[in-house]
Structure 1
Amino acid sequence: MNEQVKEYIEKYPSEIIEMFNNLRKTIFDSISNEPQESLWAKLPSYYVGEAFVRLIPFKDHINIEAQAAAGHKEELAGYKMTPKGMVQIYLKQDIPYEALKQIFAETLEQQTSVLSSK
């Protein structure tokens, strides 16, 4: 894990850290290229080229910013979606891993295809 991201996430409750680590692993497992991990505006971000996914932790939930999320509203019907299209997953909710893997792949693999064709 990127040292800045590690320091950033350590200030959250253990349940959020565990959820964050599970979501982070899901990002890495969903695409063939390893994304670049860094803080952007103090937010943990995962890049492939210009495409990105952000995991934004709060004390009781994590917001997920991924461009493809808006196309999966039916699969995410039990989860709040912010006006900016971020998915909110609260500690009491199950993580929709399969839907998220698809969202992460669609968001990041599109850029992978562009990079590999150059």
Structure 2
Amino acid sequence: MMSLREFLFKSLVVLIALLGLVLLVYWRWGSSFPLKEVLSGVGLAYNNLLLAFVLVRWGLSRSVRQFMISVMGGMFFRILLHFSLMFILIGPFEFKAVPLFSSFIVSYFLFMAFEVSFIHRWALLLEEK
């Protein structure tokens, strides 16, 4: 099973690569690029990944029913939390909606693939035992 330290290291590598790509695009387009919105979307997606890891790790040591409740309930909770945060950023803080949502969605799916690979490796280890 992947340790917290290993997971954080690998997820930070993915995050740094993604932020490097964002900064490369910002360097190309300069001041017209919505940097704060894009970085906020990536940050929210990374926060989502960390919450998912905590919930999945907690559920791994429980029964299958409790694991599924932690995964499904966690997804519902995380979506509500992050969309609420995005609406707060768009409303009072006047962030541009399209760059915020699009960077969140792209980062979310990238990190979701990372999360699914973690669960898949855990399932393979479980089959070996």
Q: Tell me if both proteins adopt one fold, taking TM over 0.5 as the criterion.
A: no
Q: Which has the larger radius of gyration?
A: 2
For normalisation by structure 2, the TM-score amounts to: 0.28
- Structure holding more helix per residue: 2
- Structure holding more strand per residue: 1
For normalisation by structure 1, the TM-score amounts to: 0.30
Q: Choose between structure 1 and 2 for higher RCO, CA contacts under 8 A separated by at least 6 residues.
A: 2
